[in-house]
């Protein structure tokens, strides 16, 4: 009986994770396409194929859904950083971030947040904000330093390179926000990185 209860609890947890993922996937796609404010809970439930009542069992509000996306920001950042080849790591991050509508079915959580923050639709504590100055110098700085050791990038301050690159990505996201009527966009990462290469 105890084993049956444990199995039942495990199945319940799996169902909860699956439902939450369905809801977050649908919400991210809609937030990215239509904006956070223009997306209603009913739009999310319809896209996810889940009833409104069931959705409220997993998330009490739209704000709670967008906060859950923060975990995906961390996962994306970590996954890209774990690619050993520095150029491949930066390229993956950039393609995921800037490809529109998406790159290999991946809706980038950072872009979803960036758009919502730029429109002042979402308000986060500074410590939770994924769009920070540190990403450039710290995160991309490490990738550029690794790329210098691997012989890809020219000599120079890797933190400065990282800061410049991150700011260029923010600039691209700003342009994308304005030109959302374009159906497709694929970033030319080689061209973007050419200024840093040997």
Sign of CA dihedral 135, 140, 141, 142: positive
C-alpha distances (whole Å) from 110 to each of 60, 67, 90, 147, 167 are 23, 12, 15, 23, 14
**What digits encode the pLDDT tens for the residues 103-149?**
888 888 888 887 787 777 877 676 666 677 788 999 999 999 999 99
Rounded to two decimals, the pTM is 0.83
**What digits encode the pLDDT tens for the residues 11-67?**
888 888 899 999 999 999 999 888 889 999 999 999 999 998 889 999 998 888 888
């Amino acid at each position: 009986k105890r084993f049956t209860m444990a199995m039942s609890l495990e199945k319940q947890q799996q169902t909860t994770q699956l439902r939450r993922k369905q809801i977050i996937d649908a919400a991210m796609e809609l937030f990215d396409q239509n904006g956070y404010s223009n997306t209603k809970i009913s739009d999310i439930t319809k896209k996810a194929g889940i009833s409104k009542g069931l959705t409220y069992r997993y998330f009490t509000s739209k704000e709670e859904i967008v906060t859950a996306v923060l975990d995906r920001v961390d996962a994306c950042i970590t996954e890209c950083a774990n690619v050993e080849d520095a150029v491949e790591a930066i390229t993956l991050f950039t393609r995921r971030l800037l490809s529109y509508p998406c790159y290999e079915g991946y809706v980038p959580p950072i872009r979803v947040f960036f758009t919502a923050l730029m429109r002042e639709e979402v308000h986060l504590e500074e410590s939770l904000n994924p769009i920070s100055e540190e990403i450039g110098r710290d995160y991309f700085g490490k990738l550029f330093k690794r790329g210098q050791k691997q012989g890809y990038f020219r000599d120079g301050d890797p933190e400065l390179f990282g800061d410049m690159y991150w700011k260029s990505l923010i600039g691209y996201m700003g342009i994308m926000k304005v030109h959302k009527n374009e159906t497709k966009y694929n970033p030319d990462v080689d061209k973007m990185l050419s200024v840093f290469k040997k």
